Amino acid sequence: MDYLDFFDLKEDPFRLTPDPYYFYPSESHNEALSSFNYIVEQKEGFFMCVGDPGTGKTTLLNTFLNTEKWKDRAGIALVLTPRLSPEEFLLTVLEDLNVKVKNTNKNEIIKAFRDFLIENSMIGRRVIIIVDEAQNLPDETLEELRLLSNLETEKEKLLQIVLIGQPELRGRLLSDSFKQLNQRITVRATLRPLTMNETSDYINYRLVKAGKGTVIFEEKTKKLIHKLSKGIPRLINLVSSRAMMAAYLDMSRYVRKRHVMYAVKHVSDSFIKTTRRIVTFPRIIVYSLMVCLIVAALIVMNRVKEQDQRGQSLSEKGTVPLIASESAAPFIEHKKLPKTAVVAVDAANVRAKPSLDSERIKSVSKETALEIIDEFTETTGMKWYKVKMHDGKEGWIADKTVRIVNE
């Protein structure tokens, strides 16, 4: 009997695919979906939706695409790999919309596109360009999108543009060079991680969708999953799926906290890093350690005082350095950092702080080698390296954009 039979489920409820069948309308997902439909309905120009990795951007997009209402009433160009030059981008869009162009002269392309938009507008059909992972659009292609958004009649916009991406997209559009584009974005949405109640509902919702079955996630188990995943759906799926597997191995229909603990030890590195602090250092241990440190410090101070009173020179006896080095040593963590990060994508951003929202200091091109001087992992599991550039400037680069070379 496999584990789906054991729990009497039709399929794995926590698969990591952006399947609209499983779309759970949390408050922020619901708002974003309504905004998405609104801009198409109202023929607003530009919509931008951002969210951290794993918060459900692609799932939201697929849910929109699955909406019966728009299936026959809209022509949709979907760009999923946006690292395209303006020309490549335009041709991809035209191909998706089935617009024939006689030659690839830019003016000809734009003219053919405008004619196509007007024809569609006359029959009340919407035309939408949707870009997922839009944070990866090159600057010139973003500018091209702005120019496309100018295609309008006196009465209405001929084209709706939807940009979906990670929060760094919002940061990029705040820069001076994208002021005009930023002003054109009329509707915005942000996908937030799920709250505790939403996480609990989300788990139940996915179980019901997968056939309900006999599996039971206890309330305290769901609380722990929420705490460890920080409410990020992808991480909730990851740990819930493994925890169910652990319960199955235990022949238990109840998924308990110990199954979750077992699961986090067996899921991907990024999840373990996100959760390690919580898993290995529960609050009680941290507090106990703090109390021990304070007691130790008091004892040391007391001894120093006693010795002082006896008129002995501490420095002669070496007591101070000994206390400073030996007693502190176990609490200092000497991290061994990797040495060099080599840029593995066409262009990677170096930022002032380890966050996608942080200001971009520089864009570095593929194969640039950067010295690593520090590292940091966000609660979402996203890892960053602090690097020194050739001009001596320092900044943070996302680990997914580099490969590590250790000589």
Ligand X SMILES: Nc1ncnc2c1ncn2[C@@H]1O[C@H](COP(=O)(O)OP(=O)(O)OP(=O)(O)O)[C@@H](O)[C@H]1O
Pick the stretch among 15-23, 170-178, 221-229, 336-344 that binds ligand X (CB under 6 A): 15-23
Are 116 and 127 in contact by the 8 Å Cβ rule? The answer is yes
Q: Which is nearer to ligand X, 56 or 354 (CB)?
A: 56
Q: Distance from first CA to last CA of the chain, Å, rounded?
A: 49
Are 23 and 17 in contact by the 8 Å Cβ rule? The answer is no
For 387, phi then psi, to 5°, come to -125, 155
Sequence-ordered list of residues with C-beta below 8 angstroms from that of 324, at least 6 positions apart, any chain: none
Q: How many CA atoms lie within 13 A of 164 on its CB side?
A: 25
Q: Which is nearer to ligand X, 51 or 86 (CB)?
A: 51
Q: How many CA atoms lie within 13 A of 231 on its CB side?
A: 16
Q: Interaction with ligand X in 117-136: which residues (CB under 6 A)? A: none
Contact residue for ligand X among 7, 36, 47, 54 (CB under 6 A)? 54
Q: Which is nearer to Mg ion, 113 or 271 (CB)?
A: 271
Closest-by-Cβ residue to ligand X is: 56
Told to check if 381 binds ligand X by CB under 6 A, we report no
Q: Is 49 helix (H, G, I), strand (E, B) or coil?
A: strand
CB of 372 to Mg ion, least distance (A): 28
Told to check if 24 binds ligand X by CB under 6 A, we report yes
Sequence-ordered list of residues with C-beta below 8 angstroms from that of 240, at least 6 positions apart, any chain: 13, 14, 203, 206, 217, 225, 255, 263
Alpha-carbon distances of 175 from 60, 180, 210, rounded to whole Å? 27, 10, 45
Partner touching 184 among Mg ion, ligand X, none, CB below 5 to 8 Å by kind: none
Report how far residue 140's alpha carbon sits from residue 277's, in angstroms, rounded to the nearest whole number: 42
Beta bridge partners of 372: 387
Partner touching 183 among Mg ion, ligand X, none, CB below 5 to 8 Å by kind: none
Partner touching 29 among Mg ion, ligand X, none, CB below 5 to 8 Å by kind: ligand X
Partner touching 16 among Mg ion, ligand X, none, CB below 5 to 8 Å by kind: ligand X
Q: Which is nearer to ligand X, 99 or 210 (CB)?
A: 210
Report how far residue 181's alpha carbon sits from residue 79's, in angstroms, rounded to the nearest whole number: 19
Told to check if 252 binds Mg ion by CB under 5 A, we report no
Pick the stretch among 13-21, 170-178, 242-250, 396-404 that binds ligand X (CB under 6 A): 13-21
Q: Interaction with ligand X in 235-254: which residues (CB under 6 A)? A: 237
Contact residue for ligand X among 4, 6, 13, 22 (CB under 6 A)? 22
Contact residue for ligand X among 9, 39, 44, 56 (CB under 6 A)? 56
Told to check if 53 binds ligand X by CB under 6 A, we report yes
- 269 alpha carbon, distance to own chain's centre: 16
Report how far residue 17's alpha carbon sits from residue 387's, in angstroms, rounded to the nearest whole number: 34
For 48, phi then psi, to 5°, come to -125, 130
Are 156 and 121 in contact by the 8 Å Cβ rule? The answer is yes
CB of 383 to ligand X, least distance (A): 14
Q: Which is nearer to ligand X, 18 or 354 (CB)?
A: 18
CB of 136 to ligand X, least distance (A): 11
Q: How many residues bind ligand X (CB under 6 A)?
A: 21
Report how far residue 229's alpha carbon sits from residue 232's, in angstroms, rounded to the nearest whole number: 6
Q: Interaction with Mg ion in 46-85: which residues (CB under 5 A)? A: 57-58
Report how far residue 172's alpha carbon sits from residue 31's, in angstroms, rounded to the nearest whole number: 23
CB of 230 to ligand X, least distance (A): 13
- 12 alpha carbon, distance to own chain's centre: 23
Partner touching 17 among Mg ion, ligand X, none, CB below 5 to 8 Å by kind: ligand X
Q: Interaction with ligand X in 164-193: which residues (CB under 6 A)? A: 166
Pick the stretch among 56-64, 91-99, 144-152, 352-360 that binds ligand X (CB under 6 A): 56-64
Contact residue for ligand X among 7, 45, 49, 59 (CB under 6 A)? 59
Report how far residue 38's alpha carbon sits from residue 305's, in angstroms, rounded to the nearest whole number: 73
- Contacts to ligand X by CB under 6 A: 16-19, 22-24, 26, 29, 51, 53-59, 166, 233-234, 237
- Contacts to Mg ion by CB under 5 A: 57-58
